[in-house]
Amino acid sequence: MNPLVRFFKVKLYTALFLLVLMLVIGVLGFRVISDYSWIDALYMTVITITTVGYGEVQPLDANAKLFTIFLILSSVVVLGYAITVITEYILSKNNFEEQKQR
């Protein structure tokens, strides 16, 4: 396999792993801190990470708000990393095709 492609695969899998990790942290967090059911905890985590944000499934106390702030800010960083990796991959694929055309 092309070493450049392998290099990006590692970075893409890292980004994907971090996104799944955020999902797991979110679900466990809302389970433990706010006593949400499994489905509510997953629902709350998905609408938070994707910024859909319909509203809190059940009211959050101060601790749950601090956890949610941490989850949102971490997700923004992880999503930013994922988008950067995908952009770099598109650019390097584009370079490769540009050089083939010459």
Residues contacting 20, CB < 8 A, separation 6+: none
Q: Which is nearer to K ion, 64 or 85 (CB)?
A: 64
Total count of residues recorded for the chain:
102
User: Cα(first)–Cα(last) distance of the chain, in Å?
Assistant: 23
Q: Is 55 left (phi over 0), alpha (psi -120 to 50) or beta?
A: left
Binding mask 17-46 for a second copy (x = CB under 8 A): --------------------x-xx-xx--x
* 50 is a site residue for a second copy (CB under 8 A): yes
Q: Which one of residues 17, 53, 90, 94 is an interface residue with K ion (CB under 5 A)? A: 53
For the segment 72-91, give every residue that binds a second copy (CB under 8 A): 72-73, 76, 80, 84, 86-88, 90-91
Nearest approach in angstroms of CB 68 to K ion is 13
